[in-house]
Amino acid sequence: MKAAVVQFKASTNKEDNLKKIVSYIEKAAAKNATLCAFPEFMMFYTNSSQTPKQLASLSEMINGNFVTTIANAAKKNNIQVVGSFYEKSRIKDRVYDTSFVVDKSGKVISKYRKIHLYDALGFRESDKMASGSKIAKPVKTDLGKIGMMICYDLRFPEMSRSLAVAGSEVLIAPSAWVKGHMKEEHWITINKTRAIENGCYVIAPDQVGNIYCGRSLVVDPYGKILLDMKKNQGIGFVKIDLNKVKQVRKDLPLLKNRRPDVYPTLKA
């Protein structure tokens, strides 16, 4: 199966971004991609001057125009889509950073609210966002059984391991990785590590431009980088072979060799 990975620079205008997103979906489908994956914050770029109230006013529900338009494009083009959006919450002046999976019929089959908010290295996402409270179960797609993560979640190995143990063959992590000292090195190392330690593919579409570093990646189950989009806007294509997942997990049975019966015996 073929995965399409979109790397682009989102503007502050929601409607302009939505037009680009639909166009990317059409281009991915024209190349016979099974699934098209987009980065975090694809809805619009939020600059530091935007207040929590302003962000909340621009957010939408899962059945709002933004996701519905994408779902209709997925159905029209017979392709599955993984995307993200700012979701309204019941908490005043706070939104959820939410990813979603749409199937070829245009149905939203999975939704995940970002658990680990980026309160680090001078940033405080919690000033504008509310944290999700649960990991979404892996969902079956034509590309394989996928587990959903978002950006900063990649730094927490417990989450990817939980998704792998639950059956994920592909981890998809829409991201907006902020530039900075050693940040690209961290990005590449972490994505490779998550793939190696779980014997699965990692697909990590990233924002480029503004304050973000690009370098959207696809890593195979043995840690080989299959795609690195550098600083380029556009679409990259990668073949996903689930037989490779099975073979790597057989040759390097890390999930099987775990000792969860022993780990809890260690006390702080």
Task: From the candidates 36, 40, 125, 169, give the one annotated as an active-site residue.
Answer: 40
The reply to whether 40 belongs to the active site is: yes
Q: Are strands 208-209 and 212-213 parallel, antiparallel or unpaired?
A: antiparallel
Between CA 51 and CA 92 the distance in angstroms is 12
151 is catalytic: yes
Per the residue annotation, which of 151, 192, 213, 244 is the catalytic one? 151
Q: Is 125 a catalytic residue?
A: no
Q: How far is CA 40 from each of CA 22, 136, 246, rounded to the nearest angstrom? A: 16, 17, 29
Question: Residue 27 has which token pair?
Answer: 């281009």
DSSP 62: T
Q: What is the signed CA dihedral for 63, 88, 174, 195, rounded to 10 degrees?
A: -100
Q: What is the DSSP letter of 106?
A: S
Specify whether the CB–CB gap between 196 and 244 falls below 8 A: no
Distance between CA atoms of 10 and 63, rounded to whole angstroms? 21
Backbone angles phi, psi at 148, to 5 degrees: -100, 135
Q: Which of 114, 128, 145, 192 is catalytic?
A: 114
For the annotated catalytic residues, the residue numbers are 40, 114, 151
